[in-house]
Amino acid sequence: MNTYEKDQKNVALKLHYDIANDDFSRAGEASSKIKKMLKQLAIDANIVRRVAIATYEAEINLVIHSNGGNIEVFIKSDCIEIYVEDCGPGIENIDLAMTKGFSTATNVAREMGFGAGMGLPNMEKMSDAFIIESELGAGTNIKMIVRYET
């Protein structure tokens, strides 16, 4: 698994949330709903926590950096897959963006406590598999898998 592709097979439950850019007052609402749903499904607390952190970082990234996007969560029998897509502006240098401490966040984002350059590395840390693809002017796609047993 090296390229970004949605795996529609054996999806027990699908969640979809649209995320608007620059809407800091609502940032975190989608992740909160995702977390609540996973808890209701009696999924292991540690898995719920990892998914919550990954989706929250993704949601914050969409609010700070994107021109708007969405988060989809596929709940399967052996794992949870998280898909994050936006419609730009794209990341120029992914290696640099993945470096701890590197950030292009605005002052507004920094005032909210973000822009420490930990978002993408943290999302990778929470996932068992992490794929990021980006094209300047087009957008960024991220796939994360959190497995129940590792």
Partner 1 sequence: MQIKYVAGILNAEILAFEQGLEHDVVTAFGSDLMSDVLAYVEEDTLLITGLINQQVIRTAEMLDLKAILFVRGKIPCNEVIQLAEEKQIILMMTKESLFTASGILFQHGLRGIKI
Interface with partner 1 (CB under 8 A): 24-25, 27-28, 31-32, 35, 45, 49, 52-53, 56-57, 60, 111-119, 121-122, 125
Residue 69 or 115 with smaller CB distance to partner 1: 115
Residue 37 or 87 with smaller CB distance to partner 1: 37
Residue 87 or 118 with smaller CB distance to partner 1: 118
As measured in angstroms, the least distance from the Cβ of 111 to partner 1 is 8
Burial status of residue 25 (CB atoms within 10 A of its CB: 0-12, 13-18, 19 or more):
exposed
As measured in angstroms, the least distance from the Cβ of 52 to partner 1 is 4
Q: How far apart are CA 2 and CA 134, in angstroms?
A: 14
As measured in angstroms, the least distance from the Cβ of 131 to partner 1 is 20
As measured in angstroms, the least distance from the Cβ of 15 to partner 1 is 16
Burial status of residue 58 (CB atoms within 10 A of its CB: 0-12, 13-18, 19 or more):
buried
Q: How far apart are CA 116 and CA 149, in angstroms?
A: 31
